[in-house]
Structures are given as C-alpha cells and as structure tokens.
Structure 1
Amino acid sequence: MQALAHQVHLLHDGAGVSAGTDRDPSAATAARAAAAALLGAALAAPGTDTRTARRRTGD
C-alpha cells in the first residue's frame, strides 16, 4: 500500500512541476488519469480485498 501511495504522490508532484515549467494545463488531467489507472490496477490485483478498498475510497 505504501508503494501505491508513493506512486500517486509522485504523480501529484510531477503534474505540479509539469504545469509550472512546461506551462501545460493538461498535466493535472493526465495525472488524474494515470492515478485512476494505478488505483484500478491495485484494486484488481490478486489478494486485494476490494470491499475494504472501496470503503476507504468512498465508493
């Protein structure tokens, strides 16, 4: 779970840097899509209790 949190954190930081240095307003949208893919893969991984994961994310 910590690895996933770290990956999402890196996406967040990278989107901020990209938006600022590259002046790319689509960075946040791309980061959100990447985060959704990471979370979807984590929830679909074998051994993941999706009932608990959904409860935590508010689904």
Structure 2
Amino acid sequence: MIAGIDDLSSDKVVKGANGAPILITISGNEGGTWMHRWLAIDFAIWLDLDFKIWVILL
C-alpha cells in the first residue's frame, strides 16, 4: 500500500467498489499520480491502438 494514504483528503483519492484506492493525485513539488495497475492498463489501451491489439491477441 502507499505510505501516508490516510493523510490524503477524499477529493484526491478515487476508491473502487471495495474501498481500495484506484487513483491518487498528490499536488506540489513532490506530487504525482498513482493508479491501480488495471486502470493503468485500460488507460494505456485507450492511448495506443497497437497496445490494444496486442492485449486482445494475447
């Protein structure tokens, strides 16, 4: 799990149906975005048609 997740406000964390975080955004100099690996794969499929075809044929 991600360290300090309890410190994040609810508007920066998107939780799935089971309550587990699937998308976290942290602002500031050391900020960034973390997403669950399944969401990351779906996002990559949306971005790259070649990757989508590779996943379908896998």
Q: TM-score with structure 2 length normalisation?
A: 0.31
- The one of the two structures with greater contact order (alpha-carbon pairs below 8 A, sep at least 6) is 1
Structure of higher CA gyration radius = 2
More helix by share: 1
Q: TM-score with structure 1 length normalisation?
A: 0.31
